[in-house]
């Protein structure tokens, strides 16, 4: 018999970096987890440790097609997140954000499930205010190479709020800022994974531009705690809410920290800044602090150590 506290939870994109951590955390909390993924950027390796758990189910499915399942909650994470991957097939990226959101919102409506959207700080584009609060509408190029991702995610937010207003759907929208940790892709071009792999291989570390652009880095365990708190918050609280770590570092500082932690002799080399690359990116997490009593607790150095261990293992197994 199902315990009344045990929920049936769908995680789309559950075999990806964030999704695999979320599935593990939900299982640990005693829920039944249905992980749906088309394995575009995710992999079975990420959820391998969960496969033996009778409360875990893995389904190959592309969310641009409708899905009919019975669930109590939906975490919609499916979408390639790194520029290399989302620019590989930009039309599919927009379809995943927009058609995927329509399909998942339709499912939530049919089965009266609560639904969470993994939105992104990219909805702020190249921000003119710093740090960004949720009231800021953004400064986004609608026709650039990043637009399939940025505008797709913006449209998904629109759909979530229209389903909420029009159909009383219970929605939760998180705007996620740069997150790192084990299960990141080794070759997705994201700055933390890039630098760690380059440092461990003793290869030059590539800084785009002068390396003085800033980013904030949130450790994955902290972020997942934020997801759960947001999903469990009162129905009136829909978000959007920023989830990220406000600690700000320049890309150069990050590179130097990683070189130190890996005892690497990699030199720093400079390459031109990609088009539309934001100069600054820092979350204002005042709302998350107030509404969810949430803030990140894992220091950058501690998170980097755990991530370095993961990449060392991948390199040993010839997978990076």
Query: Tokens standing for 25?
Result: 């955390």
Torsion over CA: 138, 139, 143, 147 (sign):
negative
Which one of residues 31, 32, 34, 40 is an interface residue with ligand NAD (CB under 6 A)? Answer: 40
Q: What is the nearest approach in angstroms of ligand NAD to the Cβ of residue 317? A: 19
Give the SS3 label for residue 57.
strand
Cα→Cα distances 179→92, 229, 266, Å: 23, 17, 24
Q: Does 300 bind ligand NAD (CB under 6 A)?
A: no
Q: Could you say which of 103, 132, 147, 178 contacts ligand NAD (CB under 6 A)?
A: 178
Distance from CA of residue 150 to its chain's centroid? 13
The DSSP H or E segment spanning 268 is: strand 268-271
**Residue from 176, 197, 207, 298 in contact with ligand NAD (CB under 6 A):** 176
Catalytic residue among 75, 86, 124, 149: 149
Report in angstroms how near the CB of residue 78 gets to ligand NAD at its nearest. 4
Residue 79 engages ligand NAD in binding (rule: CB under 6 A): yes
Shortest approach of ligand NAD to residue 202 CB, angstroms?
26
Residues 82-111 interacting with ligand NAD (rule: CB under 6 A):
96, 100
> By CB under 6 A, which span of 175-183, 197-205, 228-236, 246-254 interacts with ligand NAD?
175-183
Distances (CA, A) of 264 to 37, 198, 259, 268, 316: 36, 9, 5, 11, 16
Note whether 18 binds ligand NAD by CB under 6 A: yes
Establish if 80 lies at the interface with ligand NAD (CB under 6 A): yes
Cis peptide before 166 (omega within 30 of 0): no
Give the tokens for residue 205. Answer: 């570390």
The reply on whether position 81 binds ligand NAD by CB under 6 A is yes
Three-state DSSP class for 35? strand
Contact 244, 177 (CB under 8 A): yes
Q: Is 152 in the site for ligand NAD (CB under 6 A)?
A: no
Of 154, 150, 57, 156, residue with least CA distance to 100: 156
Which residue in the set 17, 195, 219, 227 belongs to the binding site for ligand NAD (CB under 6 A)?
17
Distance between CA atoms of residues 161 and 175, nearest Å: 14
149 in catalytic set: yes
Token reading at 275: 């088009």
Rg for the chain, CA atoms, rounded: 19
Which residue among 38, 198, 213, 266 contacts ligand NAD (CB under 6 A)? 38
The closest of 10, 51, 16, 48 to 31, measured between CA atoms, is 10
Size of the site for ligand NAD (CB under 6 A): 28
Nearer to ligand NAD, 15 or 169 (CB): 15
Least distance (Å) between residue 249 CB and ligand NAD: 15
Of positions 26, 63, 159, 320, contacts ligand NAD by CB under 6 A: 63
Q: Does residue 64 belong to the site contacting ligand NAD (CB under 6 A)? A: yes
Segment lying near ligand NAD (by CB under 6 A), choices 61-69, 159-167, 272-280, 289-297: 61-69
User: What helix, strand, coil percent values describe the chain, rounded to 5?
Assistant: 40, 20, 40
Binding of ligand NAD at residue 251 (CB under 6 A)?
no
Residues found near ligand NAD in the complex (CB under 6 A):
12-13, 15-19, 37-42, 62-64, 77-81, 96, 100, 118, 120, 176, 178-179
Q: Known catalytic residues?
A: 149
């Amino acid at each position: 018999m199902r315990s009344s506290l045990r929920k049936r939870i769908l995680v789309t994109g559950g075999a990806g970096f964030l999704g695999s951590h979320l599935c593990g955390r939900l299982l640990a909390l005693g829920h039944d987890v249905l992980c749906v993924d088309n394995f575009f950027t995710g992999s079975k390796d990420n959820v391998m440790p969960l496969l033996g758990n009778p409360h875990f189910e893995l389904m190959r499915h592309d969310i641009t097609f409708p899905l009919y399942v019975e669930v109590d909650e939906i975490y919609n994470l499916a979408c390639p997140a790194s520029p290399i991957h989302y620019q590989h097939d930009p039309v599919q990226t927009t379809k995943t954000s927009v058609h995927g959101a329509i399909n998942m919102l339709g499912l939530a409506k049919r089965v009266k499930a609560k639904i969470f959207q993994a939105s992104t700080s990219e909805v702020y584009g190249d921000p003119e205010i710093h740090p960004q609060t949720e009231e800021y509408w953004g400064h986004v190029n609608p026709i650039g190479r990043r637009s399939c991702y940025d505008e797709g995610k913006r449209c998904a937010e629109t759909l979530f709020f229209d389903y909420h207003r029009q159909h009383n759907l219970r929605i939760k929208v998180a705007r996620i800022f740069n997150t790192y940790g084990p299960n990141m892709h080794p070759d997705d071009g994201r700055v933390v994974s890039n630098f760690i792999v380059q440092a461990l291989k003793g290869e030059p570390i590539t800084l785009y531009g002068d390396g003085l652009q800033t980013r904030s880095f949130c450790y994955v365990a902290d972020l997942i705690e934020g997801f759960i708190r947001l999903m469990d918050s009162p129905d009136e609280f829909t978000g959007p809410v920023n989830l990220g770590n406000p600690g700000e570092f320049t890309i150069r500082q990050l590179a130097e920290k990683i070189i130190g932690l890996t005892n690497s002799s990699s030199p720093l080399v400079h390459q031109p800044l990609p088009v539309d690359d934001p100069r600054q990116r820092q979350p204002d997490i005042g709302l998350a602090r107030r509404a969810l009593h949430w803030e990140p607790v894992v220091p950058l150095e501690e998170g980097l150590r755990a991530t370095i261990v993961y990449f060392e293992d991948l390199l040993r197994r010839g997978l990076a």
